[in-house]
Structure 1
Amino acid sequence: MTAQPQEKNKMTPREYLTRERNSFDIKHEFFNGEIFAMVGAERNHNRININLTAKLYNKFETDKFACNLFSNDMRVKIEDSYAYPDIVIFCGDAKFEDNEFDTLTNPVIIMEILSDSTEAFDRGDKFAYYRAIPTLKEYILISQKKIRVEQFILRDDNKWEYRSYEGTNLVLNMQSIQCELPLSEIYLNVKFE
């Protein structure tokens, strides 16, 4: 999905949550007091998201992982900000900000499918926001323009290690959950122009 600035007036996290929980047409992300409307995604973005959701869910169910996932509509809390990652993986019980059960606080892996309008933000400031989440161990960026997956892994020394995968013969190794996913499955039925 693509984020577009919505308003210039700053608001508090509480004001944002109240507004967001009453917004039924459009989802909004919230960073540094500003909200950004989430706009529709392109065909490849949707196909990749479906592939990831289906393959990961199947692996988690059949392999009896202690992990699970949410796709698109689960808001994630980042200190005083909020985002809607394309895919968010958590392990153990899902933990939420409050009794509304609509804002996850314990993601282990966050995946973003890159688009032209959000790529710079996803790589830069959004990744900086995500790094403030204490439970986050991996951040994965997936291109919808070519076969390329980029992975950032939090090492024991608190530094982020970068890995890049290009080609359907490669396998994404999500170390923090001990799960492998072939790029051929991520990009199944994706057509590049």
Structure 2
Amino acid sequence: METAIDKRYTLEGYLEMEYHAQTRHYFYDGKVAPMPYTSDSHGSIVANLIREIGVQVKKTNFRVYPSDRMLYVPECRLNYYPDVMVVKGEPVFHQHSKKMQATLNPYALIEVLSDSTEEDDRIDEWQCYRKIAYLQQYFMVAQDRVYIDFYNRIDETRWENSYVDRMDQELEIAGFRVKVEDIYLNVALGKPEQRADQ
């Protein structure tokens, strides 16, 4: 997570600030930090995932959202902006205010790992995400090499962990088949992470 802003916030104070902010922020334990800019590889992977899943969800009861869709986890009292969120059926919302709402019912969440967020994605966010009763799948996608770590829900408290690490493999995301080579299309692998603000 990027450098935190010194002031401490309540959840309500954070939401008021976030509603008027020009950029998005993380909120954790009363602290607010700006979300980091993403690398070209990160952006390409997210765009590829949205495209590949988006084409397949047409005329189904699934929807796919990019990272500007806020997720709220009541069990943790935390908001997140996952890179990709897939919802089954009608979205269920937590109404923060008249103009600000967050999704409550993700079926699948996908995070593209970066140097600045990998520890949060693997530990803190995952500990919170797995408390979401609606959630069935969680994916963590490396951007510097072909590697996708993922969890599938078995029951209320158990998850099965697996991974893919070859271009010729496929993933099943919310029941839709996605080729690994399509996820990494036009992504320069093996290069150090170069963020858009550098």
TM-score (norm 1): 0.91
Count of matched residue pairs = 186
Higher relative contact order (CA 8 A, sep 6+): 2
Query: Residues 101 and 54 from structure 1, CA distance in 2 versus in 1: closer, same or farther, beyond 3 angstroms?
Result: farther
What residue in structure 2 maps to residue 182 of structure 1? 179
Deviant stretches of 4+, over 6 Å: none
Q: Partner of 1:21 in structure 2?
A: 19
Distance (whole Å) between structure 2 residues aligned to residue 31 and residue 131 of structure 1: 17
- Letter aligned with residue 103 of structure 1: A
User: Structure 2 matches for 1:1-193, cutoff 5 A?
Assistant: 3-24=1-22, 26-61=23-58, 64-79=59-74, 80-98=77-95, 99-100=98-99, 102-156=101-155, 158-174=157-173, 177-192=174-189, 193=191
Partner Cα separation in structure 1 for residue 156 and residue 9 of structure 2: 36
Matched-pair contact (CA < 8 Å) for 2:112–2:141: yes
Q: TM (normalized to structure 2)?
A: 0.89
Please state whether the residue corresponding to 2:121 is helix, strand or coil. helix
Deviation at 1:43, TM superposition (A): 0.8
Give the 3-state SS of the residue equivalent to 1:50 in structure 2: helix
For residue 35 of structure 1, what is the amino acid of its counterpart?
A: V
Aligned-residue sequence identity (percent) comes to 25
Secondary structure in structure 2 of the residue aligned to 1:189: coil
SS in 1 for 2:17: helix
Contact 1:74–1:102 (CA under 8 A) maintained in structure 2: no
What CA distance in whole angstroms lies between the structure 2 residues aligned with 1:106 and 1:27?
Answer: 21
Unaligned runs of 5+ in 2: 192-198
How far apart are 1:157 and its partner, in Å?
A: 5.3
